[in-house]
Chains A and B, each alone.
Chain A
Amino acid sequence: AQSVTQLDSQVPVFEEAPVELRCNYSSSVSVYLFWYVQYPNQGLQLLLKYLSGSTLVESINGFEAEFNKSQTSFHLRKPSVHISDTAEYFCAVKKAGNTPLVFGKGTRLSVIA
């Protein structure tokens, strides 16, 4: 079975500073990897995903994540955060094939002015 570990439950960071949200996964088979963002009282929205190909994937709002197979990691980074990035971020994994997403416990990113 797959599992996801998000090492930090909360990450406070000052506005315009860089941030990294860590995600490690466990799986014995090939997986797809996802980052979802959840704003207060909202559902989850896909931020970015890795299915195959280039190990560096980017979102439209400046986030990027790099798939590292040897370290079984998929850390999320942004070079300069904004107040509007304050949200809960969830890393998720799924096996290739028709299988459901398995989520980590989430990391609450708080951007401080």
Chain B
Amino acid sequence: EAGVVQSPRYKIIEKKQPVAFWCNPISGHNTLYWYRQNLGQGPELLIRYENEEAVDDSQLPKDRFSAERLKGVDSTLKIQPAELGDSAVYLCASSIGQADEAFFGQGTRLTVV
């Protein structure tokens, strides 16, 4: 089966510009996560979806970050405007249910200059 697909793999933008990341989870996985991984750190949750509903977005900086998961499948994460401190790897993951492990995509490495 295909894994979690993310695009783009790499993105370089100037500060104050907008950027968007896309994620296609594993078919049938109703739970989708966006994590941010700063250099030398572990991933930190930004937002979690159950189907199309965001059930945990307490760590999402809502002044500049937004996310959506249309029809409970694909998801996009947007930053507008980007800041230098947003440089990180953005990881998407999906899982079937509450006890299952999460399957991760390869991530999008964002560099803000």
A interface residues (Cβ-Cβ under 8 A, vs B): 4, 6, 9, 32, 34, 36, 41-46, 49, 51, 90, 92, 96-106
> Which 6 interchain pairs have the tightest Cβ spacing?
A103-B42, A43-B104, A98-B98, A44-B104, A43-B106, A100-B45
| Residues A49 and B101 in contact, CB atoms below 8 Å apart | yes
- What class of interface size applies to chain B in its complex with A? 20 to 34
A-B contact pairs, 16 of them (CB 8 A): A9-B40, A34-B101, A43-B91, A43-B104, A49-B101, A90-B42, A90-B43, A92-B42, A96-B98, A98-B50, A98-B97, A98-B98, A101-B33, A103-B43, A105-B40, A106-B40
- Beta-carbon contacts under 8 Å, B70-113 to A: 91, 93, 97-99, 101-107, 109
- A-B contacts besides A44-B43, A44-B93, A90-B42, 10 pairs, CB < 8 Å: A32-B99, A43-B104, A44-B91, A46-B101, A51-B99, A96-B99, A98-B31, A100-B102, A105-B40, A106-B42
- Chain A contact residues: over half helix, strand or loop, or mixed? loop
Which residues of chain A come closer than 8 Å to B106, judged between CB atoms?
41-43
Give residues in B with beta carbon < 8 Å to A.
4, 31, 33, 40-45, 48, 50, 55-56, 91, 93, 97-99, 101-107, 109
List chain B residues, Cβ under 8 A from A98: 31, 50, 55, 97-98
Nearest CB in chain A: distance from B17 CB, A: 24
Bound Cα distance A97, B99 (Å): 7
